[in-house]
Amino acid sequence: MMGELVKIAAMAVVAAVLISVLNQYSKTYAVVATVAVCCLFLLYSVRMLSPLLDMLARLSDTYSSADFGCVVKAVGIAIVTQGAADICADAGQGAVAGRVVLAGKIAIVAVTLPLFQSLVELLAELLR
């Protein structure tokens, strides 16, 4: 796992330098290259997810899969939102990045509402 992370870090530094050079010549191509590099890193990172996914499957068998699913969805939304916001910010679109983050926060709240409802019901039963 550590070796994979070192490879990603090294590739990120090389990509950042190359994209910085490309940015001097063409901002449009630099943004396209940034998106491509981010997609490649995402695909590369998915390979590292297999142990995590196995553990999550075991945990979902042990705990309520509906409640557990809310948490997994929220984490997924956070990861996608942060990636999209970073790309928008790199393209010089800070306002768009801010709205992406806001939409992600709203989506996380919406996805986790059933979890909050379960929590409130549990607290209500404990207080009876």
Quick one: pLDDT band at residue 27, thresholds 50, 70, 90? confident
User: Do residues 117 and 96 share a domain?
Assistant: yes
Give the type of residue at 124: A
For the chain, the 3-state helix, strand and coil shares in percent, each to the nearest 5, are 90, 0, 10
> Does the reported pTM lie above 0.85?
no
User: Do residues 81 and 38 share a domain?
Assistant: no
User: Do residues 43 and 69 share a domain?
Assistant: no
User: Do residues 74 and 126 share a domain?
Assistant: yes
Sign of the torsion formed by the C-alpha atoms of 122, 60, 50 and 106 = negative
What range does the domain containing 97 cover?
49-128
Task: Please tell me the predicted confidence (pLDDT) of residue 104.
Answer: 94
Quick one: pLDDT band at residue 1, thresholds 50, 70, 90? low
User: Do residues 94 and 55 share a domain?
Assistant: yes
How many domains are there within the chain? 2
